[in-house]
């Protein structure tokens, strides 16, 4: 179990916002003012990102999820809403697999339920090797222009990626490549799910969100026209509204 750094603000039912790759809790900050009147918002840095250490030997997405459960129990919280962005969605799904009794509801933002294809896995390992050789600039160059559909966000995203430690980036790439397919899990969910996806997402097509919706009963899908992979940055008010439907 890994001790995680986190920021906490607001009051209401607990909501854990799980950031994507290769970012940290700061990715959620534009969303925070829209949520603190409704939720006790907890923003962790996943293992190896932000100010959270990477455990020796690295960790899987399942272990990242277990560290979140440990954090919640340490805060005296037996249940919480969880919303994950992209890789954070993979971690949220791992959490729901491990500890379904702790989930009040799930937000799935710009994410997908399936596993990587063998080609996708090979690309992740290639990128991990390039980061080991050249540092986080490799992923900053590749991803920062693609994350948001609004070019005004590129500099901030680039800066955020460049702040992340290379071992955390490398670990997360390997952990994402090894993650299981969570599609079969969805029909077991007995809590509400709110999906948010940008129709201009250049990394994960909106079709993946529609597939998740089709597998669920208690589900709300918000598709955002003209929005890319970063709805919390590109459309914070709409993203917050979608999360409030979980209440």
Chain contacts with ligand MLT (rule: CB under 6 A):
20-21, 86-87, 176, 203
In the bound state with ligand MLT, the residue whose beta carbon lies nearer, of 185 and 247, is 185
In the bound state with ligand MLT, the residue whose beta carbon lies nearer, of 96 and 161, is 161
In the bound state with ligand MLT, the residue whose beta carbon lies nearer, of 24 and 40, is 24
* CB neighbours of residue 211 within 10 Å: 15
In the bound state with ligand MLT, the residue whose beta carbon lies nearer, of 21 and 81, is 21
Report in angstroms how near the CB of residue 84 gets to ligand MLT at its nearest.
9
Report in angstroms how near the CB of residue 37 gets to ligand MLT at its nearest.
27
Report in angstroms how near the CB of residue 83 gets to ligand MLT at its nearest.
13
Helix axes of 166-177 and 61-74: crossing angle, nearest 10 degrees: 110
In the bound state with ligand MLT, the residue whose beta carbon lies nearer, of 20 and 192, is 20
In the bound state with ligand MLT, the residue whose beta carbon lies nearer, of 40 and 50, is 50
Report in angstroms how near the CB of residue 79 gets to ligand MLT at its nearest.
25
In the bound state with ligand MLT, the residue whose beta carbon lies nearer, of 72 and 91, is 91
The C-alpha atoms of residue 234 and residue 231 are separated, in whole angstroms, by 5
The C-alpha atoms of residue 29 and residue 32 are separated, in whole angstroms, by 5
The C-alpha atoms of residue 87 and residue 27 are separated, in whole angstroms, by 13
The C-alpha atoms of residue 202 and residue 196 are separated, in whole angstroms, by 15
Report in angstroms how near the CB of residue 80 gets to ligand MLT at its nearest.
21
Report in angstroms how near the CB of residue 90 gets to ligand MLT at its nearest.
7
Report in angstroms how near the CB of residue 134 gets to ligand MLT at its nearest.
19
Tell which residue, 2, 23, 181, has the closest CA to residue 88.
23
The C-alpha atoms of residue 84 and residue 87 are separated, in whole angstroms, by 7
């Amino acid at each position: 179990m890994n001790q995680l750094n986190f920021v906490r603000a607001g009051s209401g039912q607990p909501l854990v916002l799980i950031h994507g790759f290769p970012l940290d809790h700061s990715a959620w900050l534009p969303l925070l003012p829209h949520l603190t009147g409704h939720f006790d918002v907890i923003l962790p840095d996943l293992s190896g990102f932000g100010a959270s250490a990477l455990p020796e030997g690295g960790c899987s997405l399942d272990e990242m999820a277990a560290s979140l459960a440990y954090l919640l129990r340490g805060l005296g919280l037996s249940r919480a809403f969880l919303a994950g962005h992209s890789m954070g969605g993979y971690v949220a799904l791992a959490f729901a697999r491990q500890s379904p009794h702790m989930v009040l509801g799930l937000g799935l933002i710009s994410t997908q339920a399936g596993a990587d294809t063998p080609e996708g896995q090979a690309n992740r390992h290639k990128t991990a090797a390039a980061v080991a050789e050249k540092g986080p600039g490799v992923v900053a160059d590749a991803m920062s222009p693609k994350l948001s559909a609004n070019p005004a966000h590129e500099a901030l995203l680039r800066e955020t990626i460049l702040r992340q430690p290379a071992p955390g980036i490398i670990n997360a790439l390997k952990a994402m490549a090894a993650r299981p397919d969570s599609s079969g899990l969805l029909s077991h969910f007995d809590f509400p799910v709110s999906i948010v996806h940008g129709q201009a997402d250049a990394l994960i097509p909106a079709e993946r969100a529609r597939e998740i919706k089709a597998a669920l009963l208690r589900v709300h899908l918000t598709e955002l026209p003209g929005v890319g992979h970063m709805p919390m940055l590109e459309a914070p008010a709409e993203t917050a509204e979608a999360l409030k439907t979980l209440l």
